[in-house]
Amino acid sequence: MNYFRNPLALLAVALAIIVSDISAPSEIQEAIQPGQLSYARSVPTISLRKPDQVVSSELIELISSKESKNPGLLQRAIGMAEGTREDSGIVNQAYYGHRDPMCFMPGVPCPPGDTNLGSFSYQQHPAKPVAMRPDVADRVQIEILRIQALELVYQAERKGMRLTVHELLQGLDLANQAPEAACVKQPDKMLVYKLSAGIDRASNTAKARAVFKENKCQWGFLDRLKQARDKKGLSGIEAIVEARKWSFFDPDSMRWSASGLGNSVTRIEQDQRRRALAVQKGLESYLKLDSKVLLARI
């Protein structure tokens, strides 16, 4: 198949590379040579005006492996940012349960025992399905992130933006850490439960999509990313770090809103830079391609 003459086929294959546990097909390896900057100009622009045409109900099978010893992209990259996975992708002790850093803040009430579980440091919450094992926690959070990925793609299209794989992954890591900063909604508990159980995937995904289309949130990650590029002249990882940092600034109260980091702009920037670099490293090691390829827009 000529992927360059069939944009939808190209995007489908690109998504499979991004989120599956397999190496890039040889046809795409040939099309994306390390350091080949012309790739960004040679690939046709693909509109994501109808994300449901791009993301199938089987995306969950592509987005991440369910095996802790063979992690998919989300588990590897976000797990590295969370500190639950090593650079090699294997899990460490924190994966099996650890106290949330917030629990060490003065005056913050926390339940006894470990509060974070799995690759994504999943936290038990009345608004989310119960997950008592790390593998179950990963399965549930992957469904949440899959819906939030659709939401970020939808928001980006409305703002006239085309996200790179790298930028989308950074937005999902921010959503995993602080959904409000990423300007994404927490999907309905029962929808997530049904999706993680494989119940009527197409119908429940459509229901989740109908909810996030009503989201009017502003000045989250995507708005800040656009601002960092267009107004501040930043690019690459510096634009991403700047966008992630300013996503924690509340324009209504004119205050920084990151209680877990003491609402300190210095600590916020340090934390977001650390996480952004960890995500980038996870993506690069997963794709095993030159980092410049990540700038190519799909």
- Is this prediction's pTM over 0.85? no
Burial grade of 216 (CB within 10 A; 0-12, 13-18, 19 or more): exposed
> Is the backbone of residue 220 left (phi > 0), alpha (psi -120 to 50) or beta?
beta
Task: Report d(CA 28, CA 17) in Å as an integer.
Answer: 9
The length of the chain is 298
Residue 125 in any domain: the answer is: yes
C-alpha gyration radius of the chain: 18
pLDDT, tens only, 28-66: 222 222 222 222 222 222 222 332 323 333 433 444 445
Q: What is the DSSP letter of 123?
A: E
Give the structural domain span for 71: 7-295
Ranges of the chain whose pLDDT falls below 50 = 1-65, 67-69, 289-298
Report the domain count for the chain: 1
Query: What letter represents residue 22's amino acid?
Result: I
Cα torsion 203, 205, 209, 211: sign? positive
pLDDT number for residue 6 = 46
Q: Is residue 219 part of a domain?
A: yes
| 1 located within any domain | no
Q: 255-256 and 116-117 as β-strands: parallel, antiparallel, unpaired? A: unpaired
Three-state DSSP at 116 gives: strand
In a domain, 87, yes or no: yes
